[in-house]
């Protein structure tokens, strides 16, 4: 419930852009405001945004936005903007103590997943999604927003209880990132207020502030002229506006109110440098920042400038992607772009992650790309591609505006209220784009890049592991490198280079289209509207056409096998087979050619290989379905082996967790594992050799009769043994015995505790449903006990995994972070809660909360492609009835205190329980 780095993104959002050109007089009209949103301001200054939108139906999002964040804190209030946010859930006039959470859970709203809030430097935002088919819930929802706006009770006893929770949140967030952020903030924010107001605050203030201090903060800043309600959803707009007027008009601004100052990071026209090391920072990272003043977009001319910046961002992003893929071994990641940071600065950020503390090569490389863009701009080809991407996204948004999600609008209105971002709406925006875009030339973008990069405010920040402290360069060295590059006689990227890229470009993925096969059988399962097809090669396809999201198709395929099919000596080659395939391109195309060929078309297909399964997952827009199937086909029949690309990948991944984890898991076994390129490739081909092993699930915006001919051609033609392969040798994990395993890691006073129950299981929908209910009920109970009652942890995770494949097994896991001294106390509290369920059964009210939540969740999930894909995949993998989902309410009826008592007693026993604890390094004896 805290958002520290929200603004430090280099996305392509509109508000990220600054005006550039002195524009012609006639474009000084303000940017239009979307006519579909009702915006108003009450006499006390309270603002409202109200819009009807029915995606999803029967739901509304009510948000309270405040221009109140940590920059407004006095020195003795550091952390209290965020603390106030927490107190909004700990007692308000109409919902004392924890009644707010309690009431909403009964209405089917989850605490955390639905009901939430965040605090940042300049804002605090509270979010409340509610069902709208019950007028009482809407009315109470508005009351809750009003309670947050000015009626938090801030009771001293409740404050003391919450101190522990907020301190635990601070502990939860502590670590390498937090430590390095503290050291880079003074440079990035030029020692302004932003560098001294991390929203989480100081331990000193959080442990010892007096109730009057937080009350003063609340009184000074929680006032109608700094607040807005945003309401988007399936309701009557006139009624909503009336309710808002009736509820918020009497909010009062304080007498002699304090001025809400706007703080800006100063720009000193100089170069700054920081080289920071941290014991737990795993790689070497460097970034170059060029800082400009940000001013909001107001006029149509500003919009045009913003568009130019957006085109620049697309092109520079692509250039840095190429740099990353170029075959050098030092650069593991790199990107660049312009975006807005807190403190009204617009920043060009070029960064690089490397596997060596010697940064000369990588820093010079990213600065060279930057200078090249400034000096010579981009090519016509790059411009055309960026232009099409940008224009395509606007056309798409406009065509599908009736499917725009309510949350999308909420985020736009938050941006408008908090940061004065324009909200023209899809239609007006498309008109602006259609007017201005044809008038924008490559020259405009090149000029923008040149001006933005010629910047006197330049920071270089380096972060590395502590062990490299003496190896990192100092400021003088880095300045020398960058000056050398600036003065280099870089050759202008000439026509020749472009020609080469053009000639290498491939025109098609498949040399000869495979011929169509036939369907062996086809049946439709009514109710769930699923069609099952078996193709002549034995490959099975499951089709679920939907109209939930226009132009959205997702699919997954699985076959039984996976890396566990192979002996230990082959295992490392097996787990690296997929990276080999992914880095090697496909068919006749290397990775770069494949990327060029796909361009910016909305299509993504990737094969996978995990312990017991192999398969393909993908997604595409409807017009790209054939292309997606061609890619899938080629991953089966025409994978590519690129030894150069693969060697680069291996070198780069020396430090990545994948390789490390794999090596760790195999350590100490006989036959020390080696990776063989040829063996990895053969293993991949072996896993994808028999089409009859695979079941494909397609969900989304397609017609069955239109997809069938494509399936016959691209999947039906895959080679096959016509019967599934033998997969009898797979061994599932063994159940744990009762024990505690302790490991030591980390510098902070922080313990991570995992309690896991694991054992045999009978997989069926009734058991699964009981497990889900037990998980939700225990989650509610553990939040009350460990967070609210003991103030011992920021949050508790409870989750489960159920399988019938490769064997009938369950795992049930509880996980939390706490102070090392509290490990035993909180473990015992968690086990005590489980025991209570085993002996007395759970509280009836928590079962009611579970049912309310689950019913609300199912209403929306049954209209979600992602849900259906996951659901069908699991039903087919575990060979369970596809129609189960339709009976969820009947299954719910079988959840009773008695049934959960039995379930917990059967499965959560001490002889199949393991506790894993991670304690700080310093506690190792
Ligand atoms: Zn929080």
pLDDT tens digits for range 151-184: 999 999 999 999 999 999 999 999 999 999 999 9
Q: How far is CA 677 from CA 642, 671, 706, in A?
A: 9, 18, 40
Angle at which helix 897-907 crosses helix 844-861, to 10 degrees, equals 90
Would you state the pLDDT for residue 543?
98
Provide φ and ψ at 111, rounded to 5°. -80, 125
Q: Tell me the percentage of the chain whose pLDDT exceeds 90.
A: 77
Report the distance separating Cα 872 and Cα 700, nearest Å.
13
Per DSSP, the three-state class of 902 is: helix
Distance 212 CA to ligand 1 centre (A): 21
E runs forming strands in 489-551: 519-525, 530-535, 540-545
Nearest by Cα to 919 from 823, 814, 842: 823
On the question of pLDDT at 28 being above 90, the answer is no
**Using 50, 70 and 90 to split pLDDT, how confident is the model at 16?**
very low
Q: How far is CA 171 from CA 71, 85, 387, 908, in A?
A: 22, 18, 46, 29
Would you state the pLDDT for residue 8?
33
Distance 5 CA to ligand 1 centre (A): 14
Distance 788 CA to ligand 1 centre (A): 13
Distance 609 CA to ligand 1 centre (A): 38
Q: Which residues pair with 254 in a beta bridge?
A: none
On the question of pLDDT at 20 being above 80, the answer is no
Distance 3 CA to ligand 1 centre (A): 9
> What value, to the nearest 5°, has the Cα angle with vertex 357 and ends 355 and 359?
95
Tokens describing residue 743: 């490991």
On the question of pLDDT at 922 being above 60, the answer is yes
- The string over 606-637, giving b where at least 16 C-beta atoms fall within 10 Å of a residue's C-beta and e elsewhere, is ebbbeebbbbbbbbbbbebbbbbbbbbbbbbb
**Using 50, 70 and 90 to split pLDDT, how confident is the model at 668?**
very low
Of the ranges 100-104, 238-242, 513-517, 892-896, which one carries the lowest mean pLDDT score? 513-517
Complete DSSP assignment for 808-855: SEEEEEEEEEE-GGGHHHHHHHHHHHHHHHHHT---HHHHHHHHHHHH
Nearest by Cα to 311 from 441, 215, 485: 441
Quick one: average pLDDT of 426-445?
93
Distance 134 CA to ligand 1 centre (A): 30
Which has more pLDDT, 10 or 891? 891
On the question of pLDDT at 429 being above 60, the answer is yes
Q: How far is CA 506 from CA 389, 391, 572, in A?
A: 20, 24, 33
Distance 799 CA to ligand 1 centre (A): 22
Quick one: average pLDDT of 440-468?
95
Quick one: average pLDDT of 401-413?
93
Start-to-end CA span in the chain (Å): 36
Question: What's the whole-model pTM score?
Answer: 0.91
What's the 3-state SS for 624-693?
HHHHHHHHHHHHHHCCCCCHHHHHHHHHHHHHCHHHHHHHHHHCCCCCCCCCCHHHHHHHHHHHCCCHHH
Report the distance separating Cα 297 and Cα 422, nearest Å.
7
Would you state the pLDDT for residue 507?
77
**Using 50, 70 and 90 to split pLDDT, how confident is the model at 25?**
low
Would you state the pLDDT for residue 15?
32
Distance 82 CA to ligand 1 centre (A): 6
Distance 815 CA to ligand 1 centre (A): 18
Distance 45 CA to ligand 1 centre (A): 28
Quick one: average pLDDT of 668-687?
77
Provide φ and ψ at 764, rounded to 5°. -160, 165
Would you state the pLDDT for residue 831?
96
Quick one: average pLDDT of 402-423?
95
Distance 856 CA to ligand 1 centre (A): 26
On the question of pLDDT at 24 being above 70, the answer is no
Would you state the pLDDT for residue 533?
97
Which has more pLDDT, 633 or 571? 633
Would you state the pLDDT for residue 53?
97
Element (H, E) at 82: helix 80-87
On the question of pLDDT at 843 being above 70, the answer is yes
Would you state the pLDDT for residue 672?
42
Q: Which tens digit of pLDDT belongs to each residue from 255-287?
A: 999 999 999 999 999 999 999 999 999 889 999
On the question of pLDDT at 821 being above 90, the answer is yes
Quick one: average pLDDT of 95-116?
94
Q: Which residues pair with 918 in a beta bridge?
A: 743, 752
Q: CA torsion 718→724→729→730, rounded to 10°?
A: 70
Asked if residues 233 and 57 have their Cβ atoms less than 8 Å apart, the reply is no
Q: How buried is residue 47: exposed, middle or buried, by Cβ count under 10 Å (0-12/13-18/19+)? A: buried
Distance 112 CA to ligand 1 centre (A): 11
Which has more pLDDT, 203 or 567? 203
Asked if residues 73 and 80 have their Cβ atoms less than 8 Å apart, the reply is yes
On the question of pLDDT at 206 being above 50, the answer is yes
On the question of pLDDT at 670 being above 60, the answer is no
Would you state the pLDDT for residue 23?
46
**Using 50, 70 and 90 to split pLDDT, how confident is the model at 715?**
very high
Asked if residues 446 and 377 have their Cβ atoms less than 8 Å apart, the reply is yes
Element (H, E) at 231: strand 227-233
Of the ranges 15-19, 91-95, 333-337, which one carries the lowest mean pLDDT score? 15-19
Farthest-apart Cα atoms in the chain, separation: 83
Would you state the pLDDT for residue 77?
98
Would you state the pLDDT for residue 736?
61
Distance 176 CA to ligand 1 centre (A): 19
On the question of pLDDT at 495 being above 90, the answer is no
Of the ranges 571-575, 597-601, 650-654, 726-730, which one carries the lowest mean pLDDT score? 726-730
Distance 682 CA to ligand 1 centre (A): 50
- Output the CA torsion sign for 714, 716, 717, 723: positive
On the question of pLDDT at 505 being above 80, the answer is no
Would you state the pLDDT for residue 27?
78
Location of structure tokens 């508790």: 796
Asked if residues 336 and 369 have their Cβ atoms less than 8 Å apart, the reply is yes
**Using 50, 70 and 90 to split pLDDT, how confident is the model at 676?**
confident
Would you state the pLDDT for residue 494?
55
Distance 164 CA to ligand 1 centre (A): 12
Q: Which tens digit of pLDDT belongs to each residue from 851-901?
A: 999 999 999 999 999 999 999 999 999 999 999 999 999 999 999 999 999
Distance 117 CA to ligand 1 centre (A): 8
Distance 170 CA to ligand 1 centre (A): 9
Distance 46 CA to ligand 1 centre (A): 25
Query: Chain-wide mean pLDDT for the chain?
Result: 90
Distance 794 CA to ligand 1 centre (A): 8
Location of structure tokens 């795993």: 282
């Amino acid at each position: 419930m805290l958002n520290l780095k929200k603004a430090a993104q280099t996305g392509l959002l509109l508000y990220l852009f600054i005006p550039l050109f002195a524009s012609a007089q006639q474009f000084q009209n303000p940017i239009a405001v979307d006519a579909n949103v009702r915006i108003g301001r009450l006499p006390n200054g309270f603002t409202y945004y109200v819009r009807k939108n029915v995606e999803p139906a029967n739901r509304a999002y009510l948000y309270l936005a405040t221009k109140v964040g940590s920059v407004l804190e006095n020195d003795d209030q550091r952390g209290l903007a965020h603390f106030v946010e927490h107190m909004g859930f700990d007692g308000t006039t109409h919902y004392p103590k924890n009644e707010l959470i309690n009431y909403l859970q009964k209405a089917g709203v989850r605490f955390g997943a639905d009901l939430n809030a965040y605090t940042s430097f300049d804002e605090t935002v509270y979010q409340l999604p509610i069902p709208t088919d019950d007028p009482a819930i809407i009315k109470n929802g508005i009351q809750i927003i009003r309670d947050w706006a000015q009626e938090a009770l801030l009771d001293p006893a409740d404050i003391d209880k919450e101190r522990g929770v907020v301190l635990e949140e601070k502990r939860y967030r502590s670590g390498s990132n937090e430590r390095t952020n503290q050291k880079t903030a003074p440079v990035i924010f030029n020692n302004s207020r932003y560098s001294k107001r991390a929203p989480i605050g100081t331990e000193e203030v959080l442990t010892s502030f007096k109730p009057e201090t937080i009350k003063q903060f609340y009184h000074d800043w929680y006032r109608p002229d700094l607040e807005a309600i945003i309401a988007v959803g399936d309701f009557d707009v006139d009624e909503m506006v009336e309710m808002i007027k009736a509820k918020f008009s009497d909010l009062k601004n304080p007498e002699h109110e304090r001025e809400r100052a706007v703080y800006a990071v100063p720009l000193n026209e100089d170069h700054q440098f920081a080289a920071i090391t941290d014991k737990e920072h795993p790689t070497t990272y460097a970034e170059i920042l060029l800082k400009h003043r940000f001013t909001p977009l107001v006029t149509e001319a500003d919009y045009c400038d913003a568009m130019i910046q957006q085109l620049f961002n697309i092109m520079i992003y692509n250039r840095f992607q190429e740099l990353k893929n170029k075959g050098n071994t030092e650069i593991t990641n790199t990107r660049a772009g312009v975006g807005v940071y807190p403190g009204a600065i617009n920043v060009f950020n070029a960064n690089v992650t490397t596997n060596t503390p010697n940064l000369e090569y990588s820093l010079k490389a990213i600065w060279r790309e930057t200078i090249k863009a400034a000096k010579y701009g981009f090519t016509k080809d790059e411009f055309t591609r960026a232009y099409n991407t940008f224009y395509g996204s606007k056309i798409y948004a406009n065509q599908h505006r009736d499917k725009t999600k309510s949350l999308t609008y909420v985020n736009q209105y938050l941006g408008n209220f908090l940061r004065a971002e324009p909200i023209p709406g899809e239609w007006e925006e498309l008109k602006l784009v259609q007017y201005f875009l044809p008038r924008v030339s490559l020259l405009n973008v090149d000029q923008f890049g040149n001006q933005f990069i010629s910047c006197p405010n330049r920071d270089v920040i380096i972060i590395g592991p502590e062990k490299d402290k003496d190896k990192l360069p100092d400021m003088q060295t880095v300045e020398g490198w960058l000056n050398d590059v600036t003065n280099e006689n870089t050759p202008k990227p000439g026509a020749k280079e472009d020609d080469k890229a053009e000639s290498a470009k491939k025109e098609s993925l498949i040399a000869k289209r495979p011929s169509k096969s036939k369907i062996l059988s086809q049946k439709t399962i009514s109710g769930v509207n699923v069609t099952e097809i078996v193709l002549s090669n034995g490959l099975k396809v499951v089709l679920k056409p939907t109209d939930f999201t226009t132009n959205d198709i997702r699919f997954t395929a699985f076959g039984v096998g996976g890396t566990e099919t192979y002996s230990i000596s082959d295992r490392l080659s097996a787990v690296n087979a997929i990276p080999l395939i992914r880095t090697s391109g496909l068919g006749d195309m290397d990775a770069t050619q494949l990327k060029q060929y796909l361009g910016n078309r909305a299509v993504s297909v990737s094969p996978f290989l995990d312990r017991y399964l192999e398969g393909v997952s993908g997604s595409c827009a409807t017009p790209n379905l054939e292309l997606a199937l061609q890619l899938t086909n080629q991953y089966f029949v025409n994978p590519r082996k690129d030894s150069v690309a693969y060697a680069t990948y291996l070198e780069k991944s020396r430090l990545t967790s994948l390789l490390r984890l794999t090596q760790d898991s195999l350590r100490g076994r006989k036959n020390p594992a080696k990776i063989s390129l040829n063996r990895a490739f053969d293993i991949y081909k072996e896993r994808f050799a028999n089409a009859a092993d695979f079941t494909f699930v397609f969900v989304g915006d397609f017609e069955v009769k239109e997809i069938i001919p494509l399936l016959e051609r691209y999947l039906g033609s895959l080679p096959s043994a016509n019967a599934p392969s033998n997969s009898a040798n797979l061994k599932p994990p063994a159940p744990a015995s009762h024990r505690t395993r302790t490991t030591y890691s980390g510098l902070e006073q922080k313990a991570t505790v995992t309690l896991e129950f694991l054992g045999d299981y009978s997989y069926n929908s009734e058991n699964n449903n009981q497990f889900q209910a037990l998980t939700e009920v225990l989650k509610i109970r553990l939040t009350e006990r460990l967070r609210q009652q003991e103030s011992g942890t920021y949050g508790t995770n409870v989750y489960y995994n159920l399988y019938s494949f490769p064997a009938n097994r369950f795992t049930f896991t509880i996980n939390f972070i706490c102070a090392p001294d509290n490990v035993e106390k909180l473990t015992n509290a968690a086990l005590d809660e489980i025991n209570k369920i085993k002996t007395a059964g759970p509280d009836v009210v928590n079962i009611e909360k579970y049912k309310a939540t689950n019913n609300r969740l199912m209403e929306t999930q049954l209209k979600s492609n992602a849900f259906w894909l996951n659901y069908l995949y699991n039903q087919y993998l575990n060979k369970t009835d596809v129609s189960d989902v339709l009976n969820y309410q009947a299954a719910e009826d079988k959840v009773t205190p008695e049934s959960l008592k039995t379930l917990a007693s059967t499965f959560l026993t001490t002889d199949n329980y393991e506790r894993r604890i991670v304690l700080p390094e310093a506690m190792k004896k």
